[in-house]
Structure 1
Amino acid sequence: MSATVLPEGDWIRGISIRQPYAACILTGAKTVENRPVRWRTGWVLLHTSQTVDRPALRDPLISRTIRDRQLITGAVDGVARITDCHQDPEGTAPYSQWAYPGAWHLVLSDVQELPLPVPARGQVVPWKPTPDLLERVLQQLSGFRP
């Protein structure tokens, strides 16, 4: 692992995202993730869940975004920072073309894709990565500075 000094305590969580939405985030095009509840800001491991939303593959926005990308499942594929979590005020235009009405919008930045996905099991709720998983991820991100 790099010589990066990591913050103490509970500084990173995992977020499991279905494909093809995770691939859209990793391309940098999708900067918002929709959730039914508020999340805290901070760093997250981007984990691809085991399932693929097949109907979503026919959405032109998604199909253009993920063209020629492999849809990895069941692995940590990258890291990102949640910089904001909000809902659109009622009666206003959506925050983003990726934002679902009524959902909490997790605004993502500093997305970094891993060269090699790290197989892992995720959870529906924010989950705490094991030290071994975190070490395997950070080995691939030499320039990562939390």
Structure 2
Amino acid sequence: MSAAEFEGDDWIRGITIRQPWAACILAGKLVENRPKPRSWRGWVLLHAGKKKPEPAVLRDPLVARASRGRELHLGAVIGVARLTGCHQDTGSELCSPWAQAGSHHLVLADVQELALPVPADGALGLWKPTPDLVAQVLQQLPDLQP
């Protein structure tokens, strides 16, 4: 399926995630913390933001284990995932070791890493990628479908 067939469709979005959290998603972090809930569901391009990670964050044991041996690409789409839900935990138990109390937790599934990061500009929130960017991702993941 080509990107041209999807042009104008609403099947995919991008989400910009700062490093090292973006790399942690590729390693199994399936909850992304956000200040606001999101109602959109479907495929998302995992875009690593351009800001370098804080050294203290890299020393967190959970982050260190997940990101060990991974290059922390900046300013590029590094994978895709399916956004399947969004919730906010109530009470003292969180849904995941990655979840932050008080945040809305985007639930991710079907994470696929790109072999070659695709340089791109991201944006805040969920954003609509250009057809060219989607085409570059589909070259690496030709079986990806809405």
TM-score (normalizing by structure 2): 0.91
Shift of 1:2: 5.6
Residues 1-146 of structure 1: pairs in structure 2 closer than 5 A: 6=6, 9-27=9-27, 29-39=28-38, 40-54=40-54, 55-89=56-90, 91-146=91-146
CA distance in 1, matches of 2:88, 2:136: 34
Distance in 2 separating the partners of 1:138 and 1:127: 18
What amino acid sits opposite 2:75 in the alignment?
A: G
Runs of 4+ in 1 over 3 A off after TM superposition: 1-8
Q: 1 CA distance for matches of 2:143 and 2:95? A: 31
2:3–2:134 CA contact under 8 A, matched in 1 = no
- In structure 1, list runs of 5 or more residues that go unmatched: none
Deviation at 1:11, TM superposition (A): 1.4
The number of aligned residues is 144
Specify every segment of 5 or more residues in structure 2 that has no aligned partner in the other structure, as ranges: none
8 A Cα contact 2:30 2:108, kept in partner? yes
